C-alpha cells in the first residue's frame, strides 16, 4: 500500500506489459493502419491473450491514444507549475511551450518520440480515432478550466470566463494540430511555430473589420 516503496516485481511486470502493448499497438497502427490492425494481432505481438489486452485498455482506441494522453497530462502539469500571477492566457501559452521542451523525456519512457509523432497522423486521418481524441480533449478542457478558475479565485460555475478562455485556446490548438499533421514539416519545432503564429491571430480574427487591418 505504501506508494513510496519501490514497486515490487508484480507491479513492474504489469508496467512492462502495458508499455509493450502500447509500443506494439502504435507500431502496427502506424504501419498498417488502425482499422487494419486487430486486437488479436497486438496481443499476439506481445504474447498475451486478447483478454489481457482488454484488462489494460478500455478498448482499441484507448491503446491508440495512450501516448497522446501522456503528453496531455504532461502539459496540464506544466500549466500547474506556471506562476499564479500570470494572466490566464499567458499561462496557457507558456505552459504549451514549456511542455514541448520536456516532452521528449516523458514520452520516450514508453515509446520512441518518432512513433508518438507519427501516431498523430493516424489519429487525424482515422475518423473513429479522431472522434475519441476530440472527446478526450474536451474533458481536458474542463479540467483546465477548473484549474484556471482556481488560479484566479473564481467559481467555474458562475463566471463564464475560465471555460470561454479555455475553449478559445483549445480551439486554436486543435486547428494547429490538424494543419500540422496534414503538412510536410513534421517536427515539434514546426508545430511550436504554427501554434505561436495562430495564437497571435486570435486578436485579429476577432476584430470587427478584417479588411481595414
CA distance 47 to 21: 10
Instruction: Show the binding pattern over residues 136-155: x = contacts a second copy (CB under 8 A), - = does not.
Output: --x-------------x-x-
User: What is the H or E stretch that residue 138 is in?
Assistant: helix 127-152
Cβ at position 129, least distance to a second copy in Å: 10
Question: Rounded to the nearest 5 degrees, what angle is found at the Cα of 138, between the Cα atoms of 201 and 93?
Answer: 35
From a second copy, DNA, none, interface partner of 88 (C-beta below 5 to 8 A by class): a second copy
- Identify which of residues 32 and 201 has a Cβ nearer to a second copy in the complex: 201
The one among 24, 79, 106, 132 contacting a second copy by CB under 8 A? 132
Cβ at position 92, least distance to a second copy in Å: 11
Longest CA pairwise span in the chain (Å): 67
Of 98, 21, 102, give the one whose Cα is nearest residue 66.
Answer: 21
Instruction: Show the binding pattern over residues 46-75: x = contacts DNA (CB under 7 A), - = does not.
Output: -xxxxxx-xxx-xxxx--------------
CA distance 77 to 55: 27
Contact between 32 and DNA by CB under 7 A: the answer reads: no
The one among 44, 76, 77, 172 contacting a second copy by CB under 8 A? 172
Contact between 211 and a second copy by CB under 8 A: the answer reads: yes
From a second copy, DNA, none, interface partner of 29 (C-beta below 5 to 8 A by class): none
| Residue-wise DSSP of 4-62 | SSPP-HHHHHHHHHHHHHHHHHHHHHHHH-STT--HHHHHHHHT--HHHHHHH-SSHHH
The one among 17, 62, 127, 150 contacting a second copy by CB under 8 A? 127
How is residue 37 written as a grid cell?
Answer: 490492425
Burial label, 4 (beta-carbon count in 10 A; 0-12, 13-18, 19+): exposed
Contact between 158 and a second copy by CB under 8 A: the answer reads: no
Q: How many CB atoms lie within 10 A of CB 80?
A: 13
Contact between 89 and a second copy by CB under 8 A: the answer reads: yes
- Identify which of residues 106 and 181 has a Cβ nearer to a second copy in the complex: 181
Contact between 131 and DNA by CB under 7 A: the answer reads: no
Amino acid at each position: 500500500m505504501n506508494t513510496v516503496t519501490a514497486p515490487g516485481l508484480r507491479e513492474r511486470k504489469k508496467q512492462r506489459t502495458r508499455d509493450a502493448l502500447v509500443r506494439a499497438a502504435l507500431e502496427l497502427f502506424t504501419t498498417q493502419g488502425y482499422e487494419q490492425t486487430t486486437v488479436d494481432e497486438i496481443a499476439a505481438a506481445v504474447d498475451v491473450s486478447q483478454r489481457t489486452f482488454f484488462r489494460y485498455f478500455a478498448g482499441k482506441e484507448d491503446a491508440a491514444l495512450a501516448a497522446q494522453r501522456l503528453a496531455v497530462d504532461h502539459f496540464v502539469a506544466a500549466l500547474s507549475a506556471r506562476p499564479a500571477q500570470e494572466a490566464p492566457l499567458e499561462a496557457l501559452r507558456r505552459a504549451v511551450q514549456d511542455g514541448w521542451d520536456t516532452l521528449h523525456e516523458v514520452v520516450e519512457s514508453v515509446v520512441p518520440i518518432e512513433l508518438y509523432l507519427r501516431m498523430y497522423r493516424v489519429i487525424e486521418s482515422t475518423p473513429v480515432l479522431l472522434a475519441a481524441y476530440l472527446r478526450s480533449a474536451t474533458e481536458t478542457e474542463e479540467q483546465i478550466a477548473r484549474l484556471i478558475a482556481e488560479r484566479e479565485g473564481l467559481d467555474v460555475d458562475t463566471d463564464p470566463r475560465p471555460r470561454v478562455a479555455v475553449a478559445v485556446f483549445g480551439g486554436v490548438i486543435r486547428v494547429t494540430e490538424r494543419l500540422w499533421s496534414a503538412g510536410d514539416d513534421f517536427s515539434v519545432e514546426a508545430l511550436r511555430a504554427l501554434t505561436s503564429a495562430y495564437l497571435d491571430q486570435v486578436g485579429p480574427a476577432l476584430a470587427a473589420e478584417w479588411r481595414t487591418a
